Structure 1
């Protein structure tokens, strides 16, 4: 396995950090990681262990305002920045892996970035992924007790968009595994905040994706924890049931929280992922 780090230019000229793990033999496909809010592309070691022996290359990038990429932590001016950044990232992958199938893997916020890109691509010439894999998709995010805060966020987004607010997500919400929890708490590349503009852009994107399932035309694998306290599994099931896509699969893991790939059901999740990938090559 060869590991490499690099940067690529976003459409607005921002240099974003990326890294890749490539097997020694020719890659049969590429898994393009799109991480969640407050984390970075280096938190997917369990997936690497599962994928690299099967000759899949894995690429990831730190989204703007995250990890080793520049920008205010957890801030965007508009959600379209994420969409354009992903387009540039995929162009970078294609330059290194021409004529190789690319599967998008989005976790949490990254799932919404993946959905948004696939459902309303930046341009007709944008790279079309071979398939989508989403984990912990926030189609029905937990907002209990935050009604006033969200109302204030919409107001402040207009007059003070860069105002940072804590995400309020306990590390214990992502996994039952104490090793995963402690590693997250100790990781200097993670952060626990986002701006009020990010919050309004995120919620608007969630609403749009919920309202337009018919626009998704790419094979889809959804993986979700039955004990996810951040994104209600009932909302995921409801959206999946309304999705008029023939090639769609949903696996719910009863014992897992938000990060299925880092929880007690990870072995079964990896088995399901590898089987689905093999069926779609």
Structure 2
């Protein structure tokens, strides 16, 4: 796999960004990873499957994640994350003129791609949102919520443990072990990262009717991190979405039991949207 680096930064923050090209290029997809992880975790499974569909794949580590700059688990504002996604989109469009471009976001990335589509007018051909962070499946301790809301006002950059249980990302033990051993994975989160994302998730659900871009939603009913019923509610409020509930599926569907079938489903949907795009030219 030939990986090329992209020269991107958000204000003064250096951003680790890359892209991979297939032999035949029919379109492009921008991958947006989940909270606490990084884009390189998609190189073994998701990226090869997308390349097979003749899609150029763009990936980047969000602010405070992976190899990008910024304090671990902290960002300046929620809108900074939306603006960074827009910067990556501009690069993808520049390198792929007149081709369909898709967004593919997992968890927090799902929150971002849906909010981008709802808040900014862009000519994306389609969106894939996997286990989108719209509503938590667990309730953080009250003391942590109270403390976090207070710190949001007086010390928004302070970080605490996110409380995410690695055992809940996948039903495949090896994937859990790899996640725990990954030195670029972290569980730190600041009030400025957590509360605005929660609010944006709720806002997205309530504004799903404004979505104008065809969107594939996927969620496992066994997800103990993000509540699949939030994704269900978003789907019910929109006439542009297709919902695929994976029975018993855990949070990282692309690294869970049945992942091959899930990735095939995503690839098929993307190819159908590409064919539709070219059929309209």
TM-score w.r.t. length of structure 2 = 0.93
Aligned to 1:43: 41
Task: Tell me if the contact between 1:66 and 1:73 (Cα under 8 Å) persists in the aligned partners.
Answer: yes
1:188 has 2:212 as partner: no
Cα-to-partner distance string for 1:206-231 (whole Å, 9 max, x where unaligned): 12112211221100000111110011
| Larger mean Cα displacement after TM superposition, 128-137 or 139-148 | 139-148
Cα-to-partner distance string for 1:122-158 (whole Å, 9 max, x where unaligned): xx5xx42111100111222124252332122111111
Superposed CA RMSD: 1.4
Cα-to-partner distance string for 1:240-260 (whole Å, 9 max, x where unaligned): 1122x2x42111111320000
Distance 2:165 2:193 in 1: 19
Distance 1:15 1:35 in 2: 17
Distance 1:66 1:6 in 2: 16
Distance 2:9 2:95 in 1: 15
Aligned to 2:278: none
Deviation of the 1:271 alpha carbon: 1.8
1:254 has 2:252 as partner: no
Aligned to 1:62: 61
Aligned to 1:269: 262
Aligned to 2:152: 157
Task: Tell me if the contact between 2:172 and 2:257 (Cα under 8 Å) persists in the aligned partners.
Answer: yes
| Larger mean Cα displacement after TM superposition, 148-157 or 54-63 | 148-157
Aligned to 2:277: none
Structure 1 residue runs of 5 or longer lacking an equivalent are none
Aligned to 2:227: 232
Matched positions, count: 273
Task: Tell me if the contact between 1:153 and 1:197 (Cα under 8 Å) persists in the aligned partners.
Answer: no
Distance verdict in 2 for CA 1:69–1:128, change over 3 Å = same
Aligned to 1:109: 108
TM-score w.r.t. length of structure 1 = 0.93
- 1:176-215 aligned at under 5 Å gives the runs 176-215=171-210
Task: Tell me if the contact between 1:255 and 1:265 (Cα under 8 Å) persists in the aligned partners.
Answer: no
Cα-to-partner distance string for 1:159-192 (whole Å, 9 max, x where unaligned): 0111111011121111011221111111111111
1:171 has 2:166 as partner: yes
1:3 has 2:3 as partner: yes
Distance 1:258 1:101 in 2: 28
Task: Tell me if the contact between 2:76 and 2:192 (Cα under 8 Å) persists in the aligned partners.
Answer: yes
Deviation of the 1:42 alpha carbon: 0.4
1:80 has 2:79 as partner: yes
Task: Tell me if the contact between 1:118 and 1:128 (Cα under 8 Å) persists in the aligned partners.
Answer: no
Three-state SS of the structure 1 residue aligned to 2:257 is coil
